[in-house]
Structure 1
Amino acid sequence: MQIFSKINLSKMYLGINVLITLSIIISYCYYSNSLNYLSPLFLGVICAANTETYNDILFNIKHTIVSLILFLSTSCVTFFVYKYHTFLLFWLFILPLLFINLSSLIQNYSQSFNTAILFNIFLLYLLSNNKYSILLIFIPLCGAIIFFTISTLWKIVFKQQFIKINLYHLYIELSKLYALKSMFFAENLMDIRTLNKKFIQQNISVINLLNQMKYSLYHSHQNPFFSKKSKQYFSQLYIISQELHEKINASHIKYTEQTDKILIKSIKKIISNQSILLKLIANKISYNNITNIESDVLVSTDKQLSNLRDLNSIQIKYLKKNLMKINFKLKSILDGKTKKFDERISDALVKEYKLQFRDIKNFFWFKNKTQDNNDKFALRLAFSLSTGYLFIIFAFVSKPEFWILMTIYFICQPSYSNSKSLILQRIFGTILGLITSFLLINISDTIYFQCIYLIISGVSFFIFKNYRYYLATASITIFVFLSLNLSDFISLKTFELRLIDTLIGAFIVWICTRYLFQNWQKNNVSQLIKECKQNNFRYLNQVLTRFMHDVSYKNISYRLIRREAFNSNLKLNYSLKNILQEPNSSKECKEIENFSYNNQIVLSLISSLGSHRFNQKFYRYKNQLKQFYFYNEQLTKNLKESDKKYIFNKIDAVIENILLQAKEENQSDLIFITLQIKQIEELMRLH
């Protein structure tokens, strides 16, 4: 189980598919004496694997067809304009400008659009190193088709395994998040701010997996090969994971103000046990395996919950209720007794991913604010590729070296921080790959061993591509040089040229990223904070809406708005990561770090209310809650600072009146709600 938890199974399956594909390709080239086809075929495999998505079979087939059409149509244009410098320069500028914007519009096929650019750069590389022939279009396409075929067959055999992978990782990360939650109840809690930062980072991982799981479920609901029972089972596990995430985030008490050590120790033990149960659930999802440990942990947790004292504290009372609800959810999964699936959730999944005509209109008229960053990145990549091509024309008159364009494509990223990181990794990985290639070529001169090294380096490229880019660069460099060595003799000058090409490409990207079409994340700080605050108020209003209706009220939009609030926090933390790498951004870093810390507390407080949204006792307070709802609704709009201050003052007055009335009438439930809202309001007006 420990080994299994450390392996990214999606990467493992991709590696297996690549391994099978490369074995077929290398075997064919070796036995047919066509070793000069190795590089073109492998470049096609790279493009095909770069578009790989772990969804249903039908979507995989549609995705394959779209990718192949894009590869073929754009490569034909590249082939025919290859000998005309002006037309090729224009094509290299237009291609990324069009396809990157299309990838942001039609997100289901974003990888296909982005990879079509790479396919054309690979074709230019092949045309510069081989005889000008139309076959250079179809050989890489054959490599792509072989990979797509194996990938589709793999999905047919393991049609449910990919959703299980996502669910397994989701529940493992939830377990880790809950384990961190238990640390807030440690006896010697020294630095709560540092612990909260760790909690935020783990929360990012969980939110990412929730988004990924939603995407996978959407495709499974579109897939007729999935049985209705399987769709409902996986959807229900996803819905429960959402509810668990909300309950785990819920903050009912101020940890630093608790003095009862016995109580705190009991709470910590319960949360630790529930964290273990989440791991056991992940194990059950992956292996359908139930152990005796589960019953022991469940019995222990039930006993501790029944003995947990509330000390006449309303906060502890609701914390206990929250822990009991979590325990009920965990037991329902382990026992296989989940509640009936709501079919409307399936409709919501489908509806959310449909392409709207409004988005197309916004795209062509450039009115969509979220499109602006993609426009800048598209312009930067287009300008970088065009500059690289101009350099190639003037510097390599006799024989163009399109390795420069390949370098530019891989390391030119939307954010400055990512580009900066990849530039350094690309240079280091190229040097490492060149040294290793030189040693392998000279040490092992037999074709048999070099073919084995080809397979290892090819698979390694895909395993490390998104995590250790310098190792991926080294792997692809080894593969290219070994395949060149098998088809033709390579001199020391070839090694030197590859290093020079990499340095030139890296320099062009650094200049363009640093000085042209800049997209500094620090300039978006105020907008990100504003978005977070508005989504927080929408989330709170959804909770209040649920309180103001009876138990029969159902509203799917609650889940969607809650997800938006957490995704806003996710974007905020990603921006912070990027801003840390940007020059002269210390002020913005401090501001966004402080807000992120407070925003996590706000989300925890709202989650503590949301985790009790089905409590029928709150319905009796709907008249008082309407006042909060009205003012919160105003705060979701674009208001002047003076208007915001006025509304916050009105909320303060409402809070004081309700608390005074609730204490007089001993309405403890209303006191709990009002105190939580008071804390939320105090934190939200800090920024």
Structure 2
Amino acid sequence: MASTSFRQSMRRLWALDKFSYSVRVFFALTGSMAACYYLNEMRLLIPLFLGIIACALAETDDNWQGRVQALAVTLVCFSAAALSVEVLFPYPILFVSALALAAFVLTMLGALGERYNAIAYATLILSVYTTIGVDQRGGEITNVWHEPMLLVAGAGWYGVLSVLWQALFSNQPVQQGLARVFRELGIYLKLKSSLFEPIRQLDVEARRLELAKQNGRVVAALNASKEIILHRVGGGRPGSKVSRYLKLYFLAQDIHERASSSHYPYNALAEAFFHSDVLFRCQRLLRQQGVACQRLSESIQLRQPFVYDDSFAEALGDLHASLEHLRIQSNPAWRGLLRSLRALAHNLGTLDRLLSDASNPDSLADATDSSLLDRSPRNLKDVWARIRQNLTPSSLVFRHALRLPLALVVCFVMVHLIHPSQGYWIMLTTLFVCQPSYGATRRKLGQRIAGTAIGLTFGWALFTLFPSPLIQSFFAIVAGLVFFVNRTTRYTVSTAGITLMILFCFNQVGDGYGLFLPRLFDTLIGSLIAGLAVFLFLPDWQGRRLNKVLANTLSCNAIYLRQILEQYTHGKRDDLAYRLARRNAHNADAALSTTLANMLMEPGHFRKEADVGFRFLVLSHTLLSYLSGLGAHRGTELPEPLRGQLIGDAGERLVHSIEEVATGLAAREAVAVHSDAEEALASELEQMPEEVDEDQRLVQTQLALICRQLGPLRTLAAHLIKDKNSAAQVA
């Protein structure tokens, strides 16, 4: 029994996405430490460790062949950067000019994608590491090759481990990515179930806001999973294992569309069926399906079979029985709402089937179009086109590419003005803290200072309690692990870890105590420079571009609606064009949520539109839910005359209305608060005789819900544009 429990615990540990990362880092750090002890050359430890850190920061997911190519590029960039620092350091003006130019070029290369951004950022970090090493020697350049060779050797050692790991466990990141997708979907479904709370005057808006934020997490997980799978598929046909994961990915997309769809006004349902159990049954079934998604996530992560609970079919049967009981009562006031509940029950039934299919994904038919969009540049022409597209002051990348070199130059000047001990740590702090947005920089600034203070405090205590160099070397490895495991989730803990690691490494070759005050002072100065740079130089206040973010959200929704209408016209098919339109709509929704979160970190004057933005987020997410509801029933067959009337006429008019509001927001031009044409269209769509076919009724109801959502969106858009134009006139 104990051995079974131990194996299960080890399986869970192995399934953690950070465990494999930790193992690679542990082997790299331990191997370097052991080599230095064996050779009795502890002075080699710091550059080797710094090279390992830089290479690990440059690492992105890929198959082993892609990782080999990325490693080769990384080592070339590291070698060029380290040698350039060694050669130019004695010439301050040349050095700082080259550093500023490199910072601009490397930051612009980040516009090409995550892989290029990681390599470029790590190259900048390694440049500063080399600068710190030269400064440790008093600026003497005795052997140009020595320090760069050690830094690149550390990077190469970690890179080899990374390539071997990718070759041995290529599909592990796919499993972890898909597990995250279904875990986030499970949370989304549970949150969605809270909307069916049969409480009068339920605060639907607050719950929709939470749902919109969670939708952003689902979208981020789906995007990350797609990139991981794409790296395994490439341009060829996927193998049997990857094909299975690809089917699960498309299944997750279908579940997401069903989960995010809406067919009903929640408050009206709660008011009408307050004394019935039907909403409880909807809530219970949706919550059960959320639990099933989380169980599926665990099964994928632990590589265990997923068994869908048959009792869910019983819960679905109970829901249909409740609906039948309400139908028999023949209450005229419930007629329209019961139709919405039947559409909901149908949707929940489809969700049930999709989750049941997940128990045997191999039996699922291959998608007619299983292609995934690869956004990475394919040739030099694509590279130049992507960079040229971002060579404009409106680009966040371009602003950051100008801001970061300026901040580094200020750091360099500061080092030479006050000549602090270990002064180039100021530059390193600025490089880590200075982010593209003010909100992200402010967040990292506080976390960096707090983490450094915590690390120094623990360092003082551990130095006192454990003076043995061997024990301290063990602490250095553990601290390095803490840094890597927490760097993307808990930056304060991560900073404390790297501070401890540096202290212990320096204590192996000199006086670690001498770093305490300089490290704290450098962190404060570097953080202050980063904060001022983002605040004063080309600040990217989210409120100033809120109208464009809102416009993009509506534009993507309009494109999604047009693709849905195409599907109703020509038949359901999950082709790349449809999946791309759906994903872009959800990406835009998530981007709006992120923008508003960053706005809340900005000074009060710049976040005055945040309230309007959050109300817009609720409305736009509701609109997206109605679109998803329409998209979820694309298989509905409509007669030809009706198809032309609903799809060709009403649908296209809705697309044009959404585009009209989006265009007004983007250009800051007046948007009509009220549209008689939209009001008439909504009334026309809502007026349906009793004998209307249920399929037609469903489509027509969804179009009516979409139409009714345009009025509140117009009101908020007009309010936002009016306020912005008034502020511009005052300015």
- What is the distance in 2 between the residues matched to 1:51 and 1:301? 49
Aligned residue number for residue 384 of structure 1:
407
Aligned residue number for residue 424 of structure 1:
446
Matched to 1:52, the amino acid is E
Q: Which moved more, 1:531-540 or 1:181-190?
A: 181-190
Aligned residue number for residue 558 of structure 1:
578
Matched to 2:34, the amino acid is S
Q: Which digits, 9 at most, give the CA deviation of each residue in 1:404-460, with x for residues without a partner?
A: 111110101111111112222222222222222222222212122111101110101
Deviation at 1:107, TM superposition (A): 4.0
Please state if 1:271 is matched with 2:286: yes
Deviation at 1:647, TM superposition (A): 10
Matched to 1:409, the amino acid is L
Give the secondary-structure state (helix, strand or coil) at the position aligned to 2:570: coil
Q: Which digits, 9 at most, give the CA deviation of each residue in 1:144-171, with x for residues without a partner?
A: 1111111111122211111000111111
- 8 Å Cα contact 2:131-2:424 kept in structure 1: yes
Please state if 1:489 is matched with 2:511: yes
Give the secondary-structure state (helix, strand or coil) at the position aligned to 2:540: coil
Matched to 1:327, the amino acid is D
Matched to 2:464, the amino acid is N
Aligned residue number for residue 373 of structure 2:
349
1:238-253, aligned counterparts within 5 Å?
238-253=249-264
Please state if 1:611 is matched with 2:632: yes
- What is the distance in 2 between the residues matched to 1:360 and 1:110? 13
- What is the distance in 1 between the residues matched to 2:266 and 2:102? 55
Deviation at 1:619, TM superposition (A): 6.1
TM-score, structure 2 normalization:
0.87
Aligned residue number for residue 114 of structure 1:
121
Give the secondary-structure state (helix, strand or coil) at the position aligned to 1:585: helix
- 8 Å Cα contact 1:71-1:119 kept in structure 2: yes
Deviation at 1:298, TM superposition (A): 3.9
- CA 1:535–1:305 in structure 2 vs 1: closer, same or farther (change >3 Å)? same
Aligned residue number for residue 502 of structure 2:
480
Taking only the aligned residue pairs, the percentage that are identical comes to 22
- What is the distance in 2 between the residues matched to 1:585 and 1:8? 43
- CA 1:647–1:362 in structure 2 vs 1: closer, same or farther (change >3 Å)? farther
1:424-503, aligned counterparts within 5 Å?
424-492=446-514, 494-503=515-524
- CA 1:671–1:486 in structure 2 vs 1: closer, same or farther (change >3 Å)? closer
Deviation at 1:338, TM superposition (A): 4.5
Give the secondary-structure state (helix, strand or coil) at the position aligned to 1:517: coil
Match of 1:178 among 179, 189, 202: 189
- What is the distance in 2 between the residues matched to 1:126 and 1:170? 43
Give the secondary-structure state (helix, strand or coil) at the position aligned to 1:613: coil
Q: Which moved more, 1:406-415 or 1:496-505?
A: 496-505
Aligned residues: 680
- CA 1:2–1:147 in structure 2 vs 1: closer, same or farther (change >3 Å)? closer
Matched to 1:88, the amino acid is F
Q: Which digits, 9 at most, give the CA deviation of each residue in 1:53-96, with x for residues without a partner?
A: 23322221121111111111222222211110110110121111
- What is the distance in 1 between the residues matched to 2:30 and 2:636? 59
- CA 1:683–1:548 in structure 2 vs 1: closer, same or farther (change >3 Å)? farther
Please state if 1:136 is matched with 2:147: yes
- 8 Å Cα contact 1:662-1:671 kept in structure 2: no
- 8 Å Cα contact 1:278-1:330 kept in structure 2: yes
Match of 1:213 among 225, 228, 231: 225
Deviation at 1:366, TM superposition (A): 5.4
Deviation at 1:357, TM superposition (A): 6.8
Matched to 2:404, the amino acid is L
Q: Which digits, 9 at most, give the CA deviation of each residue in 1:276-333, with x for residues without a partner?
A: 22122223322343477x3443443453355352635321221111111111111111
- 8 Å Cα contact 2:616-2:713 kept in structure 1: no
Deviation at 1:183, TM superposition (A): 1.3
Matched to 1:200, the amino acid is A
Aligned residue number for residue 685 of structure 1:
714
Aligned residue number for residue 205 of structure 2:
193
- What is the distance in 2 between the residues matched to 1:145 and 1:323? 52
Matched to 1:44, the amino acid is G
1:6-45, aligned counterparts within 5 Å?
9-45=16-52
Q: Which digits, 9 at most, give the CA deviation of each residue in 1:577-626, with x for residues without a partner?
A: 11111111342111111101111111111111111111224766221121
- CA 1:357–1:524 in structure 2 vs 1: closer, same or farther (change >3 Å)? farther
- CA 1:199–1:220 in structure 2 vs 1: closer, same or farther (change >3 Å)? same
- What is the distance in 1 between the residues matched to 2:708 and 2:363? 34
Aligned residue number for residue 419 of structure 2:
396
- What is the distance in 2 between the residues matched to 1:504 and 1:618? 71
Q: Which digits, 9 at most, give the CA deviation of each residue in 1:116-145, with x for residues without a partner?
A: 111101100011113533210010111111
Q: Which digits, 9 at most, give the CA deviation of each residue in 1:456-484, with x for residues without a partner?
A: 10101111212222222221111111111
Q: Which moved more, 1:359-368 or 1:471-480?
A: 359-368
Q: Which moved more, 1:25-34 or 1:363-372?
A: 363-372
- 8 Å Cα contact 2:626-2:702 kept in structure 1: no
- What is the distance in 2 between the residues matched to 1:207 and 1:3? 30
- CA 1:470–1:337 in structure 2 vs 1: closer, same or farther (change >3 Å)? closer
Aligned residue number for residue 396 of structure 2:
373
1:289-368, aligned counterparts within 5 Å?
289-290=304-305, 294-304=308-318, 306-309=320-323, 311=327, 313-336=338-361, 338-342=363-367, 344-346=369-371, 348-350=372-374, 352-355=375-378, 360-362=383-385, 365=388
Please state if 1:574 is matched with 2:581: no
TM-score, structure 1 normalization:
0.92
- CA 1:109–1:340 in structure 2 vs 1: closer, same or farther (change >3 Å)? same
- 8 Å Cα contact 2:320-2:345 kept in structure 1: no
Aligned residue number for residue 98 of structure 1:
105
Please state if 1:590 is matched with 2:611: yes
- What is the distance in 2 between the residues matched to 1:271 and 1:646? 37
Give the secondary-structure state (helix, strand or coil) at the position aligned to 1:349: coil
- CA 1:171–1:499 in structure 2 vs 1: closer, same or farther (change >3 Å)? same
Q: Which moved more, 1:588-597 or 1:228-237?
A: 228-237
- What is the distance in 2 between the residues matched to 1:288 and 1:8? 9
Aligned residue number for residue 564 of structure 2:
543
- What is the distance in 1 between the residues matched to 2:181 and 2:701? 31
Deviation at 1:222, TM superposition (A): 1.7
- 8 Å Cα contact 1:101-1:371 kept in structure 2: no
- Name the Cα RMSD after superposition: 2.8
Structure 1: any 5+ residue segments left out of the alignment?
none
Matched to 1:558, the amino acid is Y
- 8 Å Cα contact 2:422-2:518 kept in structure 1: no
Deviation at 1:548, TM superposition (A): 1.7
- What is the distance in 1 between the residues matched to 2:243 and 2:186? 23
- 8 Å Cα contact 2:367-2:574 kept in structure 1: no
Please state if 1:233 is matched with 2:262: no
